[in-house]
């Protein structure tokens, strides 16, 4: 259902407003470069600083422009269960193919609280739901046991795993089986993640290098030794870019890279700020190394 290179879309701004023209341009850039899925209104899309109207608009525009060519997994998470339910209902009505729901940040719920949060969303939609487990941002870590319990519900289909722990992937496959969709949220681990049983990624780097990311994903799941070697080669090309895009808080470096590629401006909303000059140089070097700019 959801696999390969799924891009965590940045949200372009102009004068602190949604830049619809650049956003549509970005979506078509991905359609032309073999991205396998679009993920609007996630953390990379600056969902914490989008108002409700903007959040809904970003999802609606993405669905409209994708025209059913590739799946749209709408970011509908919140630390308020009521708000997460409302956003998920809106995404379903708008025509999304799935929902990416982050674990509730700041509140620090127990494992039972996590279960009840996702159960409430599950009970109010028919969309496939992907759990987004990212302890580094949310403080809490959903256990494999809680995930297994949630997988028994009709709409919970997978996880975006941003723990950075490949052993977690093994544990989850062992407990939940290979049909549970496992996408990594760590660009630097994408190749290893797939070789150990994962099926893809929700990627920041794909904003900047969609074809390289898509090719790497495809080849990494091949049974051909030559194609696996090609995936490894592309992965090595991408590693400096992955690193450069996380020197400062995401998505500020990715937006600067997008500006260098002529895709959109690097305007970002407070409390995030544009990247420092030293970081700009690192991003330029990484883009040049990957032959994305001359």
160 catalytic residue (yes or no) = yes
CA 155 to chain centroid: 19
DSSP-derived secondary structure for 278-293: HHHHHHHHHHHHTTS-
Total count of residues recorded for the chain: 294
- Active-site residue (options: 118, 160, 255, 256): 160
The angle subtended at Cα 40 by Cα 34 and Cα 46, nearest 5°, is 125
Determine whether 118 is an active site residue.
no
Q: Which of these, 171, 109, 94, lies nearest to 139 by C-alpha position?
A: 109
Structure tokens at 197: 């049983």
Radius of gyration of the chain (CA): 18
Q: Which own/partner contact pairs does 217-224 have at CB distance under 8 Å and 24+ positions apart?
A: 217/3, 217/4, 217/5, 217/36, 217/190, 218/4, 220/190, 220/191, 220/194, 220/195, 221/194
Contact between residue 211 and residue 189 where contact means Cβ atoms under 8 Å apart: no
Distance between alpha carbon 277 and the CA centroid of its chain, in Å? 26
At 37, phi and psi to the nearest 5? Answer: -165, 155
**Active site residue: 23, 115, 118, 132, which one?**
132
Alpha-carbon distances of 127 from 39, 156, 209, rounded to whole Å? 14, 9, 29
Distance CA 284, CA 294 (A): 10
Annotated catalytic residues are 132, 160
């Amino acid at each position: 259902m959801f696999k390969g290179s799924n891009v965590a879309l940045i949200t372009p701004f102009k004068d602190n407003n949604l830049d619809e023209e650049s956003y549509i341009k970005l979506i078509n850039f991905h359609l032309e470069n073999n991205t396998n899925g679009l993920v609007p209104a996630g953390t990379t899309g600056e969902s914490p600083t989008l108002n409700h109207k903007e959040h809904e608009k970003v999802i609606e525009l993405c669905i409209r422009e994708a025209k059913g060519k590739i799946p749209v997994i709408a970011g509908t998470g919140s630390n308020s269960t009521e708000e997460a339910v409302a956003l998920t209902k809106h995404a379903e009505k708008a025509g999304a193919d799935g929902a990416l729901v982050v674990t509730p940040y700041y509140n620090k719920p127990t494992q039972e609280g996590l279960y009840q949060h996702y159960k409430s969303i599950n009970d109010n939609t028919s969309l496939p739901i992907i759990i987004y487990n990212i302890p580094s941002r949310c403080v809490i870590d959903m256990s494999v046991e809680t995930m297994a319990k949630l997988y028994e519900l009709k709409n919970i289909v997978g996880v975006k795993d941003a723990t950075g722990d490949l052993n977690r992937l093994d544990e989850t496959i062992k407990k939940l089986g290979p049909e549970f969709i496992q996408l990594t949220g760590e660009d630097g681990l994408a190749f290893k993640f797939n070789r150990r049983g994962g099926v893809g990624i929700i990627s920041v780097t794909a904003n900047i290098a969609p074809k390289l990311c898509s090719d790497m994903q495809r080849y990494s799941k091949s049974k051909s030794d030559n194609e696996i070697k090609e995936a490894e080669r592309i992965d090595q090309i991408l590693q400096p870019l992955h690193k450069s895009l996380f020197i400062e808080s995401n998505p500020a470096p990715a937006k600067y890279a997008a500006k260098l590629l002529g895709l959109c401006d690097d305007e970002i909303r407070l409390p995030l700020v544009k990247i420092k000059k030293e970081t700009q140089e690192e991003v330029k070097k990484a883009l040049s190394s990957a032959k994305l700019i001359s």
